[in-house]
Amino acid sequence: VSGRITDVHGRELGKDLEVKVRVPEAERYAFFPNTGSRILEAQSVHRVAFEYQNVFDGVWKIGRVEDPYRSFLPGELDPFDFSETPKNTRRFEVLELDPWLNEEGKGTVGVSWNFEEADKKGNRPSWAQADLQVQVTDLALTTRIASNRVLVLVSELSTGLAVEGAEVAVMRGQDVKLRAETDETGLAVFELEQGDYNRYFQGLNE
């Protein structure tokens, strides 16, 4: 530190100083931009990415799932390979989804991870597990909601044509409340009983 440095009043430090400062380790974290059930257009690149820093031990699993709302169980997760991970450096990982999609490049891929530090017995807290289900699809939904009815129109993103026989679900969080199939016009109709509207949709914008 130069002795010529002055404070706000113009007073000089008077002599040069050498100060030793201990720089701590960088923050330990793992960040996945998305969790829960998500949709990716089939025309997009079939990838998801995440970043982490100073994480050197954790478990995870990636694979095809039939149910876009199902997460892997903690016992299904395997050790993640951190062998190439440098210290104090942000690292970005890109996961290719194609190996778990069908020949048309569609389907649902599940990813679960728990990068929290394990205790002395090797156990990780269950609350630290996070999950992502990516449904790669060419389907698009248009919805209209009223107090007595929900209308859902399903069409193809690539052509704009209506889709017959598509299964549609009305959900509250991760819970499926109603299911229906689209007709020949691509329309799925959910009839709501008295009180259903408040039960399923009240408070969703809070």
Q: What is the pLDDT at residue 29?
A: 95
Nearest Cα to 133, choosing from 177, 100, 157, 91?
100
Measure the CA–CA gap between 107 and 66, rounded to whole angstroms: 8
170 - beta bridge partners?
Answer: 178
Say what the pTM is. Answer: 0.76
Q: What is the pLDDT at residue 200?
A: 81
Q: What is the pLDDT at residue 89?
A: 95
Average pLDDT per consecutive 10 residues, the chain (206 residues; last block may be shorter): 92 92 93 92 95 96 92 95 94 96 95 94 92 95 91 94 93 83 96 87 61
Q: What is the pLDDT at residue 204?
A: 55
CA dihedral 198, 201, 204, 205 (to 10 degrees): -80
Instruction: Look at residue 74 and give its three-state secondary structure.
Output: helix
- For 81, phi and psi rounded to 5 degrees? -85, 105
Q: Between the CA of residue 82 and those of 34, 37, 54, 157, what are the distances in Å?
A: 21, 26, 10, 38
